[in-house]
Amino acid sequence: MIKISLFANGILMIACFLAGCSNADNTKSTAATQKDTTEYFNLRPKLEKDYGYSHAVKIGNDLKISGAVSMNDSGIIVAPGNMEQQMKNCYGDLEKILQHYGYTFDDVFAENVYTTDMAGFIKASAFRNTIYKKQFPTGTWLEVKGLAVQGQLIEIDMEAHKGN
């Protein structure tokens, strides 16, 4: 009888231990789910709907921003033929999106530049020193045959992360 009682107590202790572990896992899972909420942002809602994309998506502390180009809210190219001004306009839009989520260029860890004129981009690239004052992010610069709208010289996308 004593052996059965000890055996039952042992089983009960193991069950309680396993239940405790199971609850701890559920708590972590719930916290992770709450932390990884997905938020979408549209800078120019009508244009982005017409073209079929969201300008930014934030998941948890990670922010992915689609390519910014130099255009107004009607989709008209701003500063055609002027690489430096188109670059400034791109960074202006990117800053608006970063600020919407409480980020700055210091939080950007990856940046990709697509241009139809690499030589022109390199000449104007010193402007980036006014954007990235702390450190440059990783990045890729690509010369492409064309961008979405005729007359666009540059498109910049980026990713940012905000620490806890």
pLDDT class for 153, splitting at 50, 70, 90?
Answer: very high
The pLDDT of residue 88 is 98
- Provide the percentage of residues in the chain whose pLDDT is more than 90: 73
Asked if residues 77 and 149 have their Cβ atoms less than 8 Å apart, the reply is yes
The pLDDT of residue 163 is 87
Asked if residues 64 and 53 have their Cβ atoms less than 8 Å apart, the reply is no
The pLDDT of residue 35 is 64
Domain ranges of the chain: 1-35, 38-161
pLDDT of 52 > 70? The answer is yes
Distance of CA 71 to the CA centre of its chain: 21
Q: Which residue from 85, 44, 10, 144 is spatially nearest to 53, judged by alpha carbons?
A: 44
Structure tokens at 56: 């930014």
What is the pTM assigned to this prediction? 0.78
The pLDDT of residue 90 is 98
* 108-138 tens-digit pLDDT: 999 999 999 999 999 999 999 999 999 999 9
The pLDDT of residue 65 is 98
Mean pLDDT of 27-41: 65
The pLDDT of residue 28 is 42
* 37-46 tens-digit pLDDT: 999 999 999 9
Mention the CATH class of domain 38-161. Answer: alpha beta
